[in-house]
Amino acid sequence: MDLILCHTTADFDAVGAAVGLTRLLPGSKVVLTGGSHPTVRDFLALHRDEYPLIERRSVNPEKIRSLTVVDTQQRDRLGKAAEWLDLPDLKEIIVYDHHLGQESDIPATRSHISSVGATTTLIVEQLQQQQISLTPAEATVMALGIHVDTGSLTFDQSTPRDALALAWLMQQGASLSVISTYRDPGLSSQLQQLLTEALENLEYLYLHGYTVAWVTLKTDSFVPGLSSLASELVELTEIDAILLANEYPLGESDSRLTVIGRSQIPKTNLNVLFQPLGGGGHSQAASLNLRKVDSQAILKQLLDGVKAQIPHPPTARDLMSSPVRTILPETTIAEAQRILLRYGHSGLSVVDAQKQLVGIISRRDIDIALHHGFSHAPVKGYMTRNLKTITPDTTLPEIESVMVTYDIGRLPVMENEQLVGIVTRTDVLRELHQEREEERGREEQTKTGRRGESNLNLQKLQNKLAPQLWQLLTTASQEAEKRGWHLYLVGGAVRDLLLAQASGTLMIKDIDLVVDGFHKSADVGAGVELASSLQQLYPAARLEIHGAFQTAALLWHKDPELDSLWVDIATARTEFYPYPAANPEVEASSIRQDLYRRDFTINALALRLTTPRAGVGAQQAAPLLDFFGGLIDLQAKQIRVLHANSFIEDPTRIYRGVRFAVRFGFQIEPQTEEFIRYAINSGVYDRTAQENSRTPALQTRLKTELKHILEAPYWKSALQLLDNLGALQCIHPSLKLDTELLRQLRLLERCLRRFDPQPTLIHWEMRLETLIAHLAAEYRAKVAKNLQLPEDSIARLKNLAQVQTEVMTLLPTLQRPSQVVQLLRQYDLPMLILIAVQSPREIRHQIWEYFTVWANVQPLLNGNDLKKLGYKPGPQYRQILDDLLAATLNGVIKDHTEAEEFLAKHYPH
C-alpha cells in the first residue's frame, strides 16, 4: 500500500498536492491524518467521492510500502500517523514541501522542496513533465490549493511558477465557480463572534511608522479557521502585523495555545520568530501550537521579536537631495528653465533675499508659462506659495502620507528655519522600490539558503576585503563620523566586491570614497579635509589635492601592507558639461546626485560605511545604494548607461563601456548601444573639436582610456567591439579596423615578442602608434599630438612616411649585408617596427633579418685589439671598426687572423 499523508488540519494546498500525487503514483491513497480546515471539510463533504481518500483507522500498517508526505517536514504535524514513519519494512519516504529553511525530522529517502508559493505547484510541474491529464475535479482542488496558499497570486511568496501552474490547471478544466466559492467562503458564525470579541480587545503598538496588534481569545475548545480570522482582522483594521492567540483547555490539567501571525511589514520574518518555539511558516504568515505553556509569556516573546525586527524607516535626511538648487522670485521663467535643464531637476525652490523659502515652481509651471509666451516673466507669478514642509527626521511613511493627502510632488526639508534639502515623489518611489527589491532578496535567501548579493553589508565587506584595507576603511568612516558626515565606498570597488567569488579576500588597488554631509556641517572641502586627517594617521601615504574637482588622493607606493594603493576621496558632487567632450563643471551635491553623474549603472553603486542613524546596528547598516538598477544589470551581465546624453557629453564613456563589457564578459544593453551609435553618427565630436580648442574627452581622457584598453590582455576584442560600434572615429573619423590594420597589429605582436621580450618599449603605446600609423600620413602627427603622446612618438609618426619611402626605395637595391646595416641602424627600434608591419614581405624579411642576425654582429677586433696591434687611438678607430664590421657582415673575414690580415692590407702601419 502506497500512502500520501496530509498534515493535521489539512488545508487546500495539502489536499490539492495529495490528489495530484495520486496521478503520479497510480494506486496510492490519500490519508487526512487529523481533520481538515473548515472550508476544506465543507468542500470534501460534497466532493470526497471524486478522490481516493481513506481514513487513518482503515489502514493496516503491515501493508504500507511507501509514504509520501505533503506540505510539511515535521512529523508532529502528522498526528498518530507519524508512527508509520518508523515501520521497519518501508521501502521509501518522500517529502514534498515549499517551506524552505526548516529542519526536517522526517527520515526521507527523497525530498522535493522548492521556493514556490504552494506545494501543489511542484506536483503540477511533474504532471506536466510526464504529460498526465487531470479530471476537472482533480484540477479544481489543485487550483484551490494554489489560490489559497498564494492569495490568488498576491502574496509575496507567489512565483511565476505558481501562475504557470494555475494556467495549466485551468486548461485541465478547473471550475472557476467552485474556486470562487471556497477560496474566500467568509467567516463561520463562531468566527464572526470571535471577530467581534477580537475587535473589542485588540491591543496596539505604533513603532517606526507601523502598527502592530495582538489579542488573546479564550475558547472552550479548538476553533478551526483562525487563520481566516487573522486575515480578516488585518483587512478590517488596516494594521501592519497581528499576533492572534487562542487558548483552550484539553482536560482538567492540560491546555493548548495556538498563535497565528500575519505581517505586512518589510524586513520582518515571522517564520524566524516562530520556528524556535516549534512553529513555522513564511516570512509574512506563520503559526504554532503549544501545550501547557504560559500563553502571555509566549505572546510577549513573539511580540518582542516582531518589535526587534521592525526596521527603522528611512527619514527625510536619508532621502533628500542636498544642497537645494534655489532661485530668487525675480528670476525669469526662461532662466529657470535653463537651470532645470542644466541640473536635470523637475522643480526649483524659490527663496527671498534672506534665504527664506517663499515658494516652489515645477517644470510643469514653467512649461505652461513658456507656452503662453511669458519667458520674460518672473517666477514669483507662477510659483506655489502654499507650502507643506517636513523636517530631516520625518519618516518615509509620514512623507508618503503628506504627498498622497495633498497631492504634492516635492517637499522642502526645513531645519532651524533653514532649507536643508528637498524630497521628491521620485525619491519616495525609488526608496519603496528598493525596499521591495531588498525584501525579495531576503525571501530568496530564505528560500534557497544562499545570501543574496543585494545584502552586501559591513560584515560581508569585512569578509571580502583584505584586513589592512578593511582597517583603512574603518578608520576613514570613524573620521567622517566625528565630523557628522556620511562616508560611502562607491563605483568600481563596490562592483568588484559584488562580482567577487565567495571565497578569498580582495586587495583592491583603486578605491573611491565619497563624503556626503551637507545636511550636517560638511562643505565643499569635506573630501580634502578627510583625506588630510587620514594622511596624518597614515604618514607613509602621499597626499594630492585637486581643488578644481573638490577631490584629494592618498597614494601608497610599495607599502609593506597596502602595496601601491590609490584612494580617491571626494565630496559628493554633481556636474555639468558646458559643451560635449569638455571637462565637467562640478558643484557640491548629495550622494544621489553624485551617483547619477557616473557612467554606467554597474558603477553607480555605493556602500555606506558610516552608521546611518540612531537605532540601527553597525552590522545592519551600510546598505547598498542602488538607485539605478545596477544590481539587476550585474546579474543580467549587461552594460547600461545612466542617461541618454551621457555619450554626447563624454565620448570616453564609450571606451569605458567597451572595456567593462569585454573585461567582464558582459553585453552592451541594446538601448545603450543605440545611444552610442547616435552620438558617433551625429558628428557632434567633429563639431566640438572645430569649435573648441580644448576637448579633454577627445584628448587626455581618451588617451587614458586607450591606455587602459591597449595594455589589457583583452585589447584585441575591445578594439573589435569599438570598431563595430564605429567608436574608433573618436581617434580619427577615417580610422577603421580593416583587414590590413588587423594584419599589422598581428605582425606588431610578433615583433614585440621577438625583438622586445623584456620589455624596453611601452607596448600599449606601440599598439596605439600602429593604429595612428594606419591613417593617411597628413593626419598622423596631428592625432598623436591631440592625444598628447610623448614627443618621440609624435616625431616618429610625423617622419614615418618619409623614412618608410626611403627604406622601401633603397633596401631592395642593397646587395650586401653591410649596406643594409648601414641604412637601418640610423633608425630606432620603434620606427623600424612601424615600417616592418606596414611593408611588403620582402622588405619586412630584410628588416627582421637585420634585427635577428645582422644587428647582433660585432667587429672581430675591438679598440683594445687595435691598441695591442700598435694603432694609436684616434678618430680613425671608428672608421677601422666600421670597415671591420662591414667585412665581417659581408663574409670577407671570418676570424681574428683574417681580421689582422685585413688591417695589414687596408691600414698598414
User: Looking at the predicted structure, is the pLDDT value of residue 634 above 70?
Assistant: yes
Per-residue pLDDT tens over the stretch 409-433: 889 999 988 888 889 888 888 777 6
Q: 135: closest CA among 182, 173, 180?
A: 173
CA 506 to CA 504: how far, in whole Å? 7
- Average pLDDT estimate for 864-876: 82
pLDDT of residue 185: 63
CA 122/CA 825 separation, integer angstroms? 78
Identity of the residue numbered 124: V
On whether the CB atoms of residues 244 and 197 are closer than 8 A, the answer is no
Cis? peptide before 759, omega within 30° of 0: yes
Rounded CA-CA distance 389/536 in Å is 42
Work out the pLDDT band at 488, boundaries 50, 70, 90: very high
Query: For position 459, what pLDDT does the model report?
Result: 66
User: 37: which 3 cell numbers?
Assistant: 480546515
**pLDDT classification of 446: cutoffs 50, 70, 90:** very low
Q: What is the rounded CA–CA span in Å between residue 597 and residue 591?
A: 10
Q: What is the pLDDT of residue 3?
A: 96
pLDDT in tens, 554-575: 999 988 888 899 999 998 887 7
Q: Is the pLDDT of residue 520 over 60?
A: no
Burial class (CB in 10 A: 0-12, 13-18, 19+), 177: exposed
For every residue of 365-408, DSSP letters joined together read HHHHHHHTT-TTSBGGGTSB-S---B-TT-BHHHHHHHHHHHT-
- Please report the beta strands in 820-864, taking only residues with DSSP state E, as ranges in sequence order: none
Indicate the angle between helix axes 670-681 and 652-664, nearest 10 degrees. Answer: 150
Q: Is the peptide bond before 88 cis (omega within 30 degrees of 0)?
A: no
Task: For residues 599-623, give the mean pLDDT.
Answer: 68
What's the rounded mean pLDDT across residues 51-78? 92
Pick from 56-60, 320-324, 336-340, 652-656: least confident: 320-324
Distance from chain centroid for Cα 281: 31
785: which 3 cell numbers? 599630438
Buried b (16+ CB within 10 A) or exposed e, 674-696: ebbbebbeeebbeebbeeeeebb
Q: How far apart are CA 114 and CA 99, in angstroms?
A: 8
pLDDT digits (tens, 9 = 90+) for 720-774: 999 999 999 999 999 999 999 999 999 999 999 998 888 899 999 999 999 999 9
Query: In 3D, which of 170, 363, 156 has the Cα closest to residue 264?
Result: 156
Q: What residues contact 593, with CB distance under 8 A and at least 6 apart?
A: 321, 572, 573, 574
Describe the crossing of helices 652-664 and 700-710 by its angle, rounded to 10 degrees. 10
Q: How far apart are CA 331 and CA 358, in angstroms?
A: 13
**Long-range contact pairs involving 150-157 (C-beta distance under 8 Å, separation at least 24):** 150/117, 150/118, 152/183, 153/117, 155/117, 155/282, 155/284, 155/285, 156/283, 156/284, 156/439, 156/440, 156/443, 157/98, 157/115, 157/116, 157/117, 157/282, 157/283, 157/284, 157/443
Q: How far is CA 383 from the centre of its chain?
A: 39
State how far the Cα of 108 lies from the Cα of 69, in Å rounded to an integer: 9
pTM value is 0.65
Average pLDDT of span 68-90: 92
Interval 214-260: pLDDT, tens: 999 999 988 888 888 898 898 888 899 999 999 999 877 889 999 99
pLDDT digits (tens, 9 = 90+) for 341-373: 777 678 899 999 888 999 999 888 999 999 889
| pLDDT exceeds cutoff 50 at 124 | yes
Mean pLDDT, the chain, whole residue set:
87
**What residues form DSSP beta bridges with 286?**
261, 281
Q: Which pLDDT score is estimated for 284?
A: 86
Q: Walk across the sheet containing 110-113 and list its strands.
A: 53-54, 29-32, 2-6, 66-70, 92-97, 110-113
Q: Is the pLDDT of residue 614 over 60?
A: no
Q: Please state which of the ranges 182-191, 213-222, 841-850 shows the lowest mean pLDDT.
A: 182-191
| Helix axis angle, 777-786 to 791-810, nearest 10° | 160
Condensed to tens digits (0 to 9), the pLDDT of residues 460-469 reads 677 788 889 8
Does residue 524 carry a pLDDT above 90? Answer: no
Reported confidence tier of residue 866, pLDDT bands at 50, 70, 90: confident
What is the per-residue pLDDT for 633?
A: 93
- d(C-alpha 418, C-alpha 884), whole Å: 89
Mean pLDDT for 80-103 is: 90
Local confidence band at 451 (pLDDT 50, 70, 90 cut-offs) = very low
Query: Does residue 133 sit in helix, strand or coil?
Result: coil
Q: How far from each other are the two terminal CA atoms of the chain, in whole angstroms?
A: 120
